[in-house]
Amino acid sequence: MQRRALLAISGLAALAPLNLVGLLTPATALPLPRRISPGEISQLTEMADSLQRWDNSYGSGGMVGQAASNAMRWAVGLLSVDCPDSLRQNFLAAIARLGLVAGACQFDILEHEPAETAFRIAVECAEEGLHWHLRAKGYSMLARQAVWIGQADNGLTYAEKGLVRSDRLSATEQAMLHAARARAWGKLRNVRETLAAVGAADDSFARREPENDPTWMSYYDEAQHNGDTAHALFDLAVGVEGHDSAQAIRRFTTAVRGHDDQYSRSRALSSTKLASLVIATGDPAEGIALGHRAVALSKNLTSQRAAADLKELGTYADRASTVPGALELRHLVRTIVQA
């Protein structure tokens, strides 16, 4: 590939308003090679794997988020370095993979602008390199972030874009994207479409053959699937009068039991949502007890998303203030969130 500036690569020109300038001009200049070699591709891949492991286990506050930011700056700089045609596809795949992980780290600490920038870089590199699996994951992450920041319509559009040419995707990836659609519809309080999307996600997940998935999709197991679809059903249970919460409770329970220490943040997130849901729609005393367990699972994380869910749990605990343990739970939440 001939040397060319970053903004000349496909749709990346549209990212200029999203602070690419900041990524390209860090306070301390990062050294770049004169030419891309297999070594840079290996470093990008290994950094992505390490960041993903740390992010899943601890959250992305502190060192993890800073490492993600620095790695993404270096990756963006590499896009303007000469790359041999023989390495071009693998190089773009490595940039896309790192963009997905670094973006997820920034998302976890609620740094939404750099997160979106990283996700969009990942999608553009995946599309240019014809990497359909990375493209699907990129649109899934954009969808999840959009839903989080209150842009459910955009989230739905991203999820639908990810499903373009779904015949090229594994059943697991299709389940992931249908779950993202469900989360968007849930935020929009559209019962019929949410349930249909959850059903489509379940159908795809039932057909999964993990050996056909990219290695980095191994996280999307039964626990993850149940947690993702439960999040969609949570919004119906607490936001649509008369909607049954039993299915969401079952799925959150399955997620909490299924996540091991490798995915401690996901376990904590599902545990916190489960507690809030039970307080709001079931037995408040049981919910308060679940809340104490959720706090115990969350207290060592550096995830701002986990902290936001704890704040929500504290709000539900306030509403059940007469239940034994509720005030103590509220105090524990405040202590952790303010730490």
Task: State the first-to-last Cα distance of the chain, in angstroms, to the nearest integer.
Answer: 49
Averaged pLDDT score across all residues of the chain: 92
- Report the distance separating Cα 283 and Cα 3, nearest Å: 63
Task: Go through 27-54 and write b for each residue having 16 or more CB atoms within 10 A of its CB, e for each that does not.
Answer: eeeeeeeeebeeebbebbbebbeebbeb
One-letter amino acid for residue 164 of the chain: V
> Are 254 and 266 spatial neighbours (Cβ–Cβ below 8 Å)?
no
Which ranges in the chain belong to alpha helices (H)? 20-24, 38-58, 63-78, 88-108, 112-128, 132-148, 152-162, 171-187, 191-206, 222-239, 246-258, 264-281, 284-298, 304-319, 326-338
Q: Residue 82's beta-bridge partner residues?
A: 35
3-state secondary structure of 209: coil
pLDDT band at 19 (very low <50, low <70, confident <90, very high): low
> Are 4 and 80 spatial neighbours (Cβ–Cβ below 8 Å)?
yes
pLDDT band at 319 (very low <50, low <70, confident <90, very high): very high
pTM over 0.85: yes
- Report the distance separating Cα 56 and Cα 182, nearest Å: 23
The predicted model gives 264-277 an average pLDDT of: 97
CA distances from 253 to 223, 274, 277 (A): 9, 7, 11
| Torsion over CA: 294, 297, 298, 303 (sign) | negative
pLDDT band at 30 (very low <50, low <70, confident <90, very high): confident
The predicted model gives 210-215 an average pLDDT of: 94
The predicted model gives 249-272 an average pLDDT of: 97
**How high is the pLDDT of residue 4?**
45
Judge residue 247's burial from the number of C-beta atoms within 10 Å of its C-beta, 0-12 exposed, 13-18 middle, 19 or more buried.
middle
- Report the distance separating Cα 78 and Cα 63, nearest Å: 23
pLDDT tens, residue by residue, 74-125: 999 999 999 999 999 999 999 999 999 999 999 999 999 999 999 999 999 9
pLDDT band at 28 (very low <50, low <70, confident <90, very high): low
| Cβ-proximal residues to 277 (8 Å cutoff; 6+ apart), any chain | 234, 237, 238, 245, 248, 249, 252, 287
**How high is the pLDDT of residue 31?**
85
**How high is the pLDDT of residue 338?**
82
The predicted model gives 37-60 an average pLDDT of: 94
**Is the per-residue pLDDT at 5 higher than 60?**
no
pLDDT tens, residue by residue, 166-187: 999 999 999 999 999 999 999 9
